């Protein structure tokens, strides 16, 4: 169901983007000292921190002899949304997010390398403007790389919606909060773009089958674009980061 008014007659979205454009992504690896890997990522006005601890010995109850246990926690700062959130974590929405994060990230981690161990991935959303799940996955992907845990491939996530410009339907990539709130569809995909596989797919609201493919394609393209950006950030971090890191530890 394409919501009205998401696209202007000149083909621009409410914030001035074209339908195929991501929001501005800025990211940084290794922002903290305490965790084994960390990253900070901004996707437009959505700002997310990710920290990875581990692998370390898993607690008895969770331990698996086959593979590493991935533990995720998603949390939103009380001041991250327009109206104050009363519970930063533990509410139903956050629990669901944590679970979806675990599913997407487990798909990327070479879990068989660390049996009997556990990896903790913590996400803190500082500011939310739509697409917090996508930003969380992307930040977590960077934090995992920073921690040196072997991955199969980059895992990235991106959302897409559907707008209407006169008679033609146009999928919109990387949905912002106002676009989410406009009562349109929101399709979220987490994928491993280099392998072409989808790790998680979630959709809210109603979408006609006729349009599903174009929306999915657009979201997948978004994932690929994000991978390029993340890859660039990792390379830059490695180029300048090693020396800095060494100085700090000595």
Can you give the binding site for another protein, defined by CB under 8 A? Answer: 1-2, 8-10, 12, 14-17, 21-25, 31-35, 44-45, 47, 49, 51, 53, 71, 73, 75, 77-84, 88-89, 120, 122-124, 126-129, 167, 176, 178, 206-211
Cβ at position 53, least distance to another protein in Å: 5
Round to whole Å and give the CA distance between 195 and 155. Answer: 10
CB of 191 to another protein, least distance (A): 20
The residue (of 167 and 239) whose beta carbon lies closer to another protein is 167
CB nearer to another protein: give 47 or 237.
47
Smallest gap from Cβ 98 to another protein, in A, equals 9
Q: Between residues 140 and 199, which has the closer beta carbon with respect to another protein?
A: 140
Write 210-216 long-range contacts (CB < 8 A, 24+). 211/2, 211/162, 211/169, 211/171, 214/162, 214/169, 214/171, 215/160, 215/161, 215/162, 215/171, 215/185, 215/187, 216/160, 216/187, 216/189
Residue 197 CB, nearest approach to another protein (Å): 26
Comparison of 162 and 199: residue with beta carbon closer to another protein: 162
Chain CA centroid to CA 158, Å: 7
Question: Residue 57 Cβ, how far from another protein at the closest point, in Å?
Answer: 12
Handedness of CA 154, 207, 127, 232 (dihedral sign): positive
Residue 220 beta carbon to another protein: minimum distance, rounded to whole angstroms? 18
**Whose Cβ is closer to another protein: residue 61's or residue 66's?**
61
Nearer to another protein, 12 or 198 (CB): 12
CB-wise, 23 or 237, nearer to another protein?
23
Q: How far is the CB of 176 from another protein (least distance, A)?
A: 7
What distance in Å separates the CA atoms of residue 191 and residue 210, rounded to the nearest whole number? 22
């Amino acid at each position: 169901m394409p919501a009205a008014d998401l696209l202007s007659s000149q083909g621009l979205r409410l914030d001035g983007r074209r339908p195929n454009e991501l929001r501005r992504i800025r990211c940084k690896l290794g922002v903290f000292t305490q965790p084994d890997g960390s990253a900070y990522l901004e996707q437009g006005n959505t700002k997310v921190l990710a920290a990875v601890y581990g692998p370390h010995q898993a607690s008895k109850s969770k331990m698996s002899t086959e593979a590493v246990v991935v533990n995720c926690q998603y949390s939103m700062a009380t001041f991250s949304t327009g109206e104050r959130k009363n519970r930063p974590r533990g509410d139903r929405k956050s629990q669901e997010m944590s679970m979806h994060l675990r599913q997407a990230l487990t798909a990327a981690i070479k879990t068989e390398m660390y049996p009997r161990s556990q990896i903790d991935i913590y996400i803190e959303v500082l500011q939310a403007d739509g697409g917090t799940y996508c930003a969380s996955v992307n930040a977590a992907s960077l934090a995992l790389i920073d921690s040196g845990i072997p991955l199969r491939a980059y895992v990235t996530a991106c959302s897409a919606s559907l707008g209407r410009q006169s008679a033609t339907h146009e999928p919109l990539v990387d949905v912002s909060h106002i676009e989410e709130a406009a009562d349109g569809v929101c399709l979220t995909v987490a994928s491993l773009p280099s392998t072409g596989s989808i790790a998680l797919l979630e959709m809210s609201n109603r979408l006609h089958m006729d349009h599903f493919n174009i929306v999915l394609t657009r979201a997948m393209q978004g994932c690929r674009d994000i991978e390029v950006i993340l890859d660039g950030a990792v390379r830059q971090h490695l180029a300048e980061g090693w020396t800095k890191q060494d100085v700090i530890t000595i």
